[in-house]
Homo-oligomer: A and B are copies of this chain.
Amino acid sequence: MANDKKLVEAVTSMDVDFAQWYTDVVRKAELTEYTSVKGFMAIKPYGYAIWESIQGELDRRFKKTGVQNVYMPCMIPESLLQKEKDHVEGFAPEVAWVTHGGLDRLEERMCVRPTSETLFCDFYKKDVQSYRDLPKVYNQWCSVVRWEKTTRPFLRTREFLWQEGHTAHATAEQAEERTEQMLNLYADFAEDFLAIPVVRGQKTEKEKFAGAEATYTIEALMHDGKALQCGTSHNFGDGFAKAFGIQYLDKDNKLKYVHQTSWGMTTRLIGAIIMVHGDNDGLILPPKVAPIQVMVVPIRQTNPEVQEGMKKIEEVLSNFRVKVDDSDRSPGYKFADCEMRGIPLRVEIGPRDCENGQAVLVRRDTHEKITVSMDELEAKVAEMLETIQKDLFNRALERQREMTYDAHSFEEMKEIADNKPGFIRAMWCGCRECEDKLKEEPGVTSRCMPFAQEKIADTCVVCGKPAVKMVYWGKAY
């Protein structure tokens, strides 16, 4: 293998330079390409196929809970953006402004949507009249634009793809229920489908979404010990409803404001997959999300028996997402290419395997290699894909546990933050000043107040006053 791998240019080792390792994997696994549009990425076929896989599964899970897809305009008139005070303050500094349509200057400038709360409010104001019209549980798949200064593929780009769910409910309880339901759906999806363990919790006042009453989040730990926010769900209460005047006539014949939520996941998840599962040979994809689950690589592919064997394997494995690499590259090149692209299983078949009615299975994650008779091939592949999915999750969970530290004092917190990458759990008094102080030094932000609280001390790690919450702190993407 060592020699063969030279055929595919190696990636920078993640221990040497994690950021460069990430960029190398993105480029060499052919996920994205830089474009002439500064800060924007082109998503290449293999990267987009991963997104389609994510999108398909999320959409199925959404629809099971009654979500309906819709499509709203891609632009927001300035006056509409300004209707909710906190919201416009949060987003106005980072939007792109359209000032001309065709040859004419617009009477009112419009921004390209950075998120669509205001558009859905505008819509619900027309569409919701009576309690019979509620709840509205809508979602859209689209791209949004935020004018970031520094960008990195998938993690931070001026445009990204996402889904944004926006709901309207009759009561505060129903809105809260939906907010939590979607956060849990996101967490289950991340853990079950992407094999990424997450911490579920609530954002602090400082970190919550512009205009929300409460923001819930799932946070994952990357290989380098930095946190990545993987999905958020917001409860708006009736704040937007009051700003936009969204009222319904209830059964008791009274006009009432609706209660709203929104929730989103983005192409950032692809960055999470790379940084949670990848290694120095490239990408590692969990079988459930992998566009190609099994790659068949023939050895001496011009041999007629090998040709026949290839075809037979493709047939036998037709219940999986299987592909045969019959290009004119060398087997060694193909092996390295499979590894770079993170294809979970590789099947090798050569003349001797054909003679013996067998094939060789190689796991991407462990490089484990076993020989299997053709009769057992299908069952063995099914079993191994399931094992890989589980193992990836367990390995990531184990790592997350190892990289999660408890701090009982400011000094201990500083010591951990400076020397041990990962999550730091510590008690907090709930005040903004202590949060700001930790941001300044040792440079960590609150990731979330986990739903699963533990009282690891009585007092705030910063000010020593009585603690109200245990918080996950960390450096984040």
Contacts and interface: CB of A to CB of B under 8 A. Distances in A.
Tallying the copies of this chain within the complex gives 2
A74 B143 contact: yes
A102 B70 contact: no
A204 to B, nearest CB: 25
B99 A100 contact: yes
Interface in A33-49: 33-37, 40-45, 48-49
Contacts of A333: none
A254 to B, nearest CB: 20
A75 B40 contact: yes
Interface string A89-112: 000011111111111000000101
Interface residues of A, number: 52
Contacts of A362: none
A52 interface: yes
A334 to B, nearest CB: 14
A307 interface: no
A93 B75 CA distance: 19
Interface stretch (A120-128, A385-393, A463-471): A120-128
B33 A127 contact: yes
Interface in A59-77: 68-77
A42 B102 CA distance: 22
A416 interface: no
A95 B96 CA distance: 15
A159 interface: yes
A138 interface: yes
A89 to B, nearest CB: 13
Nearest to A45: B68
A73 B40 contact: yes
Contacts of A95: 102
A194 interface: no
A166 to B, nearest CB: 12
A161 B74 contact: no
A119 to B, nearest CB: 7
Contacts of A94: 102
Contact of A74 (B77, B99, B123, B159): B159
A165 to B, nearest CB: 13
Contacts of A112: 74-75, 98, 112
Given A73-B159, A74-B112, A95-B102, A45 B138 contact: yes
Contact of A37 (B43, B99, B110): B110
A37 B75 contact: yes
A142 interface: yes
Contacts of A37: 73, 75-77, 80, 110, 119
A70 B48 contact: yes
Interface string A358-398: 00000000000000000000000000000000000000000
A187 to B, nearest CB: 26
Nearest to A43: B71
A320 interface: no
A145 interface: yes
A168 to B, nearest CB: 13
Contact of A96 (B71, B100, B142): B100
Interface string A294-326: 000000000000000000000000000000000
A75 B42 CA distance: 12
A69 B42 contact: no
Q: Which 7 A-B pairs have the closest CB atoms?
A: A40-B73, A45-B68, A101-B147, A102-B147, A97-B100, A43-B71, A37-B73
Interface of A: 33-37, 40-45, 48-49, 51-52, 68-77, 80, 93-103, 110, 112, 119, 122-123, 126-127, 138, 142-143, 145, 147, 158-159, 161
Given A37-B75, A94-B102, 14 more contacts: A33-B123, A34-B126, A37-B80, A42-B71, A42-B72, A42-B73, A71-B161, A73-B159, A74-B143, A93-B102, A99-B100, A101-B158, A112-B112, A142-B143
14 contacts: A33-B123, A33-B126, A36-B122, A37-B77, A37-B110, A42-B73, A44-B70, A44-B127, A45-B68, A49-B69, A52-B69, A71-B143, A95-B102, A97-B100
